[in-house]
Structure 1
Amino acid sequence: MNLALRRHLADSLAVDAMLGCRPRWTAIATAKDVVALQGRYLLHAGPPITDRSLISPPQKNSMLMAILFEGWATDRQGAEELLMSAEVALHAAQDHACAVPLADVLSPSMQLLVIEDEDCPSRQGFSTLNGGDGPVMRVGQYGEEVLQRLRWINRHLAPQLQAVVARSPIDLLPVADAALAAGDDCHGRTQHASQLIAQALLLRAGSDGLDDEARRFLEQSAAFFLNLWMAAVKCCFLAAEDVPDSSVVTAIGGNGRQFGIQVSAMPGRWFVTAADAPLVPGVDEQTRLRALGAIGDSAIVDAFGSGAMARDLAPLTAQRLAQTCSEHGRAFPGKLLECPHPRLLKSQAYRTGLDARQVCRLELGPVISLGVLDKQGLCGRLDGGFFFSPLKPFQAALEALEAADASA
């Protein structure tokens, strides 16, 4: 009650709606069947891309891979011509209830994880399937191996997982709760959560529901849970949208060039600034100079209280974060998130409820655990780092809310 009194009423209402969401994995579906778009399109991370000449090389590589996967072109030159001709529409994934990691891209024929609110099944969040380790689209590399992995994930693995999940949905809050209590942060570290998901799938599959290749993939993919959690958080954020005058953050991410947010009261309106590169502890100068600006929709899980913001539950994350703060003279926003989650009972230190008002009061934005990509699009993922969110988007959102209130 005291916490609610300290918060702006609109922000309390939005957070309550978010906390009431009960995300569960119910299906895998083809994007064109669940995304409300027609024709040729690509969904990407972060704010909308308004100038195609400024698409970062890693994200461009992934877009070319998606075009080849769809069969819209047969070689790189044809794919580049198609992308730059604007015959393929580009959209921010979070504007369409989706969330994609790093440089990942979503196209109509790809398979999506479907996460729905148990109490409101029409409320759904989506994400791509995590491709595991090796040459994968999300790290922004171009090549035949990436394309082959993309085909295997979507055409071989996804149908098997759909058949298994259809037997019994998987509640994701209990999985996250157990994983956080075991030391995961549910972003940069998802080993325990991914193991729990693999166990749940193998139990549902029985002896014949998954082939050997699919079983090996699940057992070896330590980051498989991340995409599920991103879609779950997106589902929760959708529940918090459209509360008048609320500054609760309901979208957040980067596209390598810009970083931006949306707030509850203004769904669909991005507030953006330039995207600096994440900071990496102990990194050499060469790596620092090759780092792309912040990219990925996985920032939403940190805004929800996971990742770097769950440092009190994840010792290894806390250690790397402390080193980063020390090396770069940064402060951790320990009082930014203050709302406990009623369904995360094992991980009682967990806090959520990010709002622009609190960011501006403290003059500290959330810290986000992000993969660091090679800005040239050649080497894929360079390391894992921390992005210290700039204040500008939060200040702009709050100014827009105040202006709307003044004109009402």
Structure 2
Amino acid sequence: MSTQMCSKVVVLALRSVCCHTHSSRPCIRAVLAPKVPSGPCVLMPQRRAYSDARSSAPSSLERTSPSSTLTQRNLSALQSRPVSRYESMYDAENVPQVKPTIAVRHYIFDPALAELVTQHLGPDLETAIFECNPGPGVLTRTLLNAGAQRLVALENDKGYLPYLQELEGRLDGQLEVVNCNFWRLDPLIGGNMKPSVMTADKLFTDLGISEANWTDDLPVKVFSILPQVQERATLLKLVYSLFERVSVYRYGRIELFLFMTESEYLKMMAKPGDIMRYRNFSVLCQMAFDVKLLHKEPWESFVMSKPSLTLKKTRKVPDQLCLVHLSPRADLFSTGLNPNNASTLFVMVKQVMAVRKAKLINKLNQWFPDGGSKLLSEMGMSEDIMTGHVFPDEYRRLFEIIEKTSEFKDSWIYKDIMRTQRN
């Protein structure tokens, strides 16, 4: 106890000296810190280091200095000049103290990392940006000062809402705060949803964002640190929504900028023949998105809520997180695939890729009775090819050929899918 008291005295002494030395600057606690419920606080990251991201991944990006192309602007309703690095730095004392949420959360705490993310979201900052679970708002402030014209903070943790809402009230409409969880929009469940569940339709309608054609300009950019629990299932739900043009994808080709574990990124971008990593998840994501690796960041750079549960929930702490850009392919629905039959393709890929060492011809015969050999011949593929050696675009072409035939409509698999969709 005495050691803790001594540490607090030293911290307070240093803080008072710091405030005296920078007397011309407003104290960050006075400017930013809201009155929020007391409780356990998120932890300060112990170290900060960038990786050079040079690996077997398709692309990489080393740490760079802040881009000179990002337009700096004043937050007129907040203060008379952009926030400096000193003022945007948070320490453990200045982070709003909240009660931990049920799920393990990760937050951007370091302004340098926030600046790097802002560079990748730019240079066009006039498009609406959804920031999912901003927490203490380090990236929020960085985006606003870089010129973001419309930033929507989707915060599910009510402990952080007072802070974000106070910031919203001190601006001129550039920031909108919504209490919801982006990853829980439109849950794939039967029956009536609870009134408290936020839907994409309500969110976009309240924000005044209308539906767009698939080939129109990108209407929204979404930034999120992907939830570490059920990471792959979360992405598959998103891909399913994209294929059916439902949920957020009713409103156009929503761009995603996601921090995800490196292991999941490598599975997403695995190539045919990589039996350990290549799976239906890889096929569906590569079919749906243009994927680009932007940056790799050490795990320790992020602040974690409930760190004691991390090992229990994720089993293994990854070495680093990957910032990945997922841009829906503009040509996805240009050659026969459409929202009415895309869900059938989704099911076909999951069923065929369940066993990656199985012969493709045997799987095709289930979907196209006794026609597997004919299909492979038309595609110029060997009859001995295994399901785990077929490229995503080849699966798409196979489906588009199958879907046009009467034999497929008579197959038990097709009838079973139609019955499931009706129910």
Could you tell me the TM-score, scaled by structure 2's length? 0.26
Larger-Rg structure: 2
**Relative CO higher for 1 or 2, CA cutoff 8 Å, sep ≥ 6?**
1
The TM-score normalised by the length of structure 1 is 0.26
Q: Which has the higher strand share?
A: 1
